[in-house]
Amino acid sequence: MKIFHNVILVILILMSLAAGAAKVMHVPQEVAFFTGAGLSVFWLMVLGIVQIVGATLAGFLKTRLIGAILMMGAFLTSSIVILINGDMAFAAFSLLPALLSAFITKQHLAHKR
């Protein structure tokens, strides 16, 4: 179970870093997609920074809980934006990283007890 947990954690960290970097670097597809849903470029940048910070914090045991929570919130926000754009299937699939972040959060809390 520990190997599974670590693999999921590494995948989530990489996904969050990649998604955050795309937003912070203003990749045209990201900007068009999120501004099309009504999110300003400023909030797109904030979301990207949250994803990067969350991924960075999740990489360290001491800050893993807050990092996983930040990643979960950012992935959930992205899923909501996708849903607003009307792509129900992709929005449902996009909830997977948020759910996996919740799993990491739960595992971390269970380990603390």
Q: What is the pTM of this model?
A: 0.91
- pLDDT for residue 1: 73
Give the chain's radius of gyration (CA, Å): 14
Give me the number of domains the chain comprises.
1
d(CA 113, CA 103): 16
Confidence category of residue 110, pLDDT binned at 50, 70, 90: confident
Domain region containing 81: 2-112
The tens digit of pLDDT for each residue in 72-92 reads 999 999 999 888 888 888 888
Confidence category of residue 23, pLDDT binned at 50, 70, 90: very high
d(CA 107, CA 113): 10
The tens digit of pLDDT for each residue in 61-77 reads 999 999 999 999 999 99
On whether the CB atoms of residues 54 and 74 are closer than 8 A, the answer is yes
d(CA 102, CA 5): 12
User: Which is more confident, 112 or 16?
Assistant: 16
